[in-house]
Amino acid sequence: MATEKWTVSGIDKLRIGPGVTTGTLPTVGMIDVSDIITPNSVIYTKNVDNIERIIPDGRSVAYVTFLTPGDPNTIVIGLLDQNPEIEGLVGNIIYDAATSTVTELAQRKLANICVEITTHVQNGKKCIIIIPNIDATLGTADPLTFNNVEKFVINGELKPFLTTGGEEAIRIKKFVNPDGTPIDSTAP
């Protein structure tokens, strides 16, 4: 049997929407931001846990070894456009559509969002990564200057959600065919 290649590379599509903390993933309210992502700005960091060892006096081998949680996993997404729908999802604003006016409120907001990333096709398949529960804040990158474009930056920490089976998880990776149909990995 040939070795299967499960390569995850490049972002083809990225959507954000309201976060969820249970196994039911959002089906409405997702905003496609694929066309407004700042180049090279989407950064997902999976932080490692720390290994702690208890070594008794006079010994060189650990008596007990255990893990302590490291920093939470994080995601950063840079956006080029000033979209009031995104600002309302992640930031604390009042939007008046009749006058196209966005009023940024003084009290900052810690938003709960969901992110869905679809990767480019690699080795005949693509990957859909769903991160349902992210505590996120909205800021800007690069100062607003005479010839600079103001960019939004979403900074988030991944939080656990409950799967339909009652397990705590932080993300879902699903490999699919190029047309989006599921891959049956049990088939020969």
Nearest to 75 by CA among 3, 137, 144: 137
Block means of pLDDT (10 residues each) for the chain, 188 residues, are 70 93 78 91 87 79 77 92 91 94 93 94 90 94 82 94 90 91 80
Structure tokens at 117: 């990333």
Whole-prediction pTM value? 0.84
Q: Is the dihedral of CA 96, 101, 106, 107 positive or negative?
A: positive
Question: What is the DSSP pairing of strand 50-54 with strand 64-68?
Answer: antiparallel
Determine the Cα–Cα distance for residues 136 and 157; give it in Å rounded to an integer.
7
| pLDDT score, position 23 | 67
CA–CA dist 100, 138 (Å, integer): 20
Q: Which residues of 78-94 are buried (b: 16+ CB within 10 A; e: fewer)?
A: bbbeeebebbebbbbbe
| Of 162, 140, 159, the residue nearest 151 (C-alpha) | 140
pLDDT reported for residue 3: 54
| Pair 112, 19: CB distance under 8 Å | yes
